Amino acid sequence: MSKWYPKKGRVIFHVDMNSFYASVEAAYDPSLKGKPLAIAGNPEERRGIIVTSSYEARAKGVKTTMPIWEAKRLCPNLIIMRPNFERYRKASSEMFKMLAEITPYVQPVSIDEGYMDITGCEALGAPLEIANRLQQRIHDELDLPCSIGIAPNKFLAKMASDMKKPMGITVLRLRDLPMKLWPLPIGEMYGIGAKTAEKLNKVDITTIHDLVEADIYLLKRILGINGERLQNRAKGIDTRSVDPDAIYDFKSIGNSQTLPEDTTDDLVIKQLLRKLSRKVSERLKRKEVVGQNVQLMIRFHDRKTITRSKKLSTYIDEDDTIFNYAYALLDQHWNGTPIRLLGVTVQDLQEKKAIAQQLNLFTYEHEAKKEKLYETMEQLTEKYGAKTFKNGHQLEDNSQPRTSFQKDYLDDYRK
C-alpha cells in the first residue's frame, strides 16, 4: 500500500456532506426523500430566506439565500421546513466520530465539512479504499450522502470534493491541475467570491489558469497580499496542516438575523438587539470565554452594510452589557433609514481562566453582589429548567439559533 502514499507529501481528505440540513431531515423522515425540500429560517414569513435545499429543489433553481417567495415561484411544490439545529448537530457529531476512528488528524471547519490527514494510514488500505468505505459507512449508518476530495493539500482537497456531488469521490493531484482545475471559471475557485471574481474579470482573469499566469504585481495591486496567496493556491501550493485543535482558535462569537420586513421601528429594532445580545452571551458562557470588543452590523433596505465596533477597557460576557454597547453603536451610527438585518458580535476573545480581571472596589462590590444571585439562578435553573428566568425585556423565542453553526459548536464529537 505504500505506493499510494507519498514519501514526502501528505494525503488529505475533504469530507463535505451533501445538502446537509435537507439530507438530515430526509433521513429522519424518509417520506421526504426524492422531494424538493428547503430549510428556511422563517417559513411563516414570505420574506424568509432559504438556508439550504435538496438537490431536487436545486434542480428547479432554488438557491441558498433566496427569498421564500422566489423559491416557491420557481418550485410551487417546494416543501419548506424550519431548521432543527439539535438534529443537525447530533448528525454532525456522529459523522466526525467516524472520521476520527480513521485518523486523529481531523479538523472540522463547519457543521457539515472537515479535513482529514490520512498520511500514515497505509494499514487501512489505499486512499481510495478508505474514502469508499467512509462514504459508504456514513450513508449506511446515518443515511446521509457526502462527497470526498483526495489531494496533497487542503485547498486541492476542498476543490476536489466540489467536483462531483452528491456521493462523489474525486482525486486531484498536482499533475491533474492543468486538466481538472485550471480550465474552471475563476468564480469557482474556493476563496474567491463574487466581488473578487468581478475585480479579476475586469483585468481579463476569467479562469483559474489566467490566475496562475497573472503578473504578481498586478494581483497585489488589485487584491493586496491576498492576490499572491490565491495565486499560490491555484498553483497547488498550500502548506497548511490539518489541525485538530483549530476548532478552539476562534476570535469572535456573533449572531445575526434578518427582520421579517425592513423597519425603522425603534422598539422592534431594540427587541432584536436584546435577543441577539442574549444569544451571543449564552455562547460566550458555554465556551467559557469573554470578549473586549463589541461589533454591530447593520444591513439597510438597499443591502448596503456597515459594521461599527467599540473597544472596551474590560472583558464582558453578560447580555445586558453586550446590548448596552450594541445599542449605543446603533444610536451613534444609524441614519434612520429602514433596517433589513442586524448582527451583534463580541470579538477579541480570551478564556475566562486566563483573565485576571483587575477590579476596583466599586466593581468588586458590584460583581460580588451579583455573584450570589447568579449562583441561585443557576441552581434553580438546573432544578426547574432553562426557562425559569426570563427578563421582561427579552423576546419570547422558541426557535433555534438563526446563524450558521460556527466553531463553538464543533467540539462535541470528541466527547
Catalytically active residues, by annotation: 113
Do 109 and 157 touch, CB atoms closer than 8 A? no
Q: How many residues does the chain have?
A: 415
Per-position b or e across 151-188, b if 16+ CB within 10 A of its CB? bbbbbbbbbbbbbebbebbbbbeeebbeebbbebebbe
DSSP letter at 246 equals G
Question: In 29-179, which ranges are continuous DSSP H helix?
Answer: 55-58, 68-74, 85-100, 127-142, 154-161
DSSP letter at 172 equals -
Do 272 and 257 touch, CB atoms closer than 8 A? yes
Best CA proximity match to 344, nearest among 410, 289, 398, 271:
271
Best CA proximity match to 156, nearest among 10, 19, 18:
10
Instruction: List the strands of the sheet with 79-81, edge to edge.
Output: 50-53, 37-40, 79-81
Distance CA 132, CA 168 (A): 10
Q: What are the C-alpha distances in Å from 77 to residues 34, 37, 86, 326, 363? A: 12, 9, 27, 41, 59
Q: Quick one: the chain helix, strand, coil %, rounded to 5?
A: 45, 20, 35
Do 149 and 16 touch, CB atoms closer than 8 A? yes
Asked if residue 204 belongs to a known ligand binding site, the reply is: no
Cell 467570491, residue located: 193
Asked if residue 112 belongs to a known ligand binding site, the reply is: yes
What would the grid cell of residue 38 be?
A: 428547503
Burial class, 22, CB count within 10 angstroms (exposed 0-12 / middle 13-18 / buried 19+): buried
Distance CA 340, CA 334 (A): 12
Give yes or no for a cis peptide into 166 (omega within 30° of 0).
yes
- Going by the annotation, the residues of the binding site are 16, 112
- Going by the annotation, the residues of the binding site for Mg(2+) are 16, 112
